[in-house]
Structure 1
Amino acid sequence: MADDIEIDAQGEHGYLVTQPSELEDVRTWFKVTPEVMDQLGADDEEDVVLRTVQFLRRHQDVADFPETVDLEDVIASYDEYLTVMTAD
């Protein structure tokens, strides 16, 4: 599943994620804040972005991803996100 996800760092705490969909590639900007990283107990932002993309794919089609994803919004929208992301 992760083989088709391309993640490119775009400055401090920003990532451009490109994923194929049936019609065309979907590009989504991800914003990761230090506060979110603290909540997740993580220090690898790119890994958090990858795992977040995989999490979101279980809830929606790639074609339905928004242009921008703020991880704070994901936390607020999905009750199980923190549990899934902090499970070892």
Structure 2
Amino acid sequence: MSASFDITRVNDNEYRVRTEAEGQSVESLFRMNPDLQGRLGGPEADEVAVVEATARFLSRHQSVIDFPPMIDLEDILATYDDAPEQIQRLLADDSPGA
């Protein structure tokens, strides 16, 4: 079962991502460089959708309990070679008509 994420915009390009895991509430601040929205999801991609897809991608690679307090999306892309393609696939799977 994949995690369900509650995402709230905090500032420009910063989002609070909350979820429950192992009976605990987990919260991280996701930061996104403005050009990532277009690079990952295309010009019409919603920032929240990109953040959610990234959180889902990361949860497939590590427990959400182990998410750090702050996550920069650029770091995810630098750490995981397949991140851009996988995040784009998650976004496409969630798009209307997919």
Using the size of structure 1 for normalisation, the TM-score is 0.88
Q: CA shift at 1:39, angstroms?
A: 1.9
Unaligned runs of 5+ in 1: none
Q: CA shift at 1:45, angstroms?
A: 0.5
The root-mean-square deviation of aligned C-alpha atoms, in Å, is: 1.5
Measure, in 2, the Cα distance between the counterparts of 1:18 and 1:83.
24
Measure, in 1, the Cα distance between the counterparts of 2:51 and 2:29.
10
**Percentage of identical aligned residues:** 36
Unaligned runs of 5+ in 2: 93-98
Measure, in 2, the Cα distance between the counterparts of 1:82 and 1:60.
17
Per the alignment, in what secondary structure is the counterpart of residue 27 of structure 2? strand
31, 53, 57: which one pairs with 2:55? 53
Q: Counterpart of 2:36 in structure 1: which amino acid?
A: V
Q: CA shift at 1:38, angstroms?
A: 2.8
> May I ask how many residue pairs the two structures share in their alignment?
87
Moved over 4 A (4+): none
Paired position in structure 2 for 1:67: 69
Written as runs of structure 1 = structure 2, the 5 A alignment for 1:1-88 is: 1=2, 4-40=4-40, 41-42=42-43, 43-87=45-89, 88=92
Q: CA shift at 1:48, angstroms?
A: 0.4
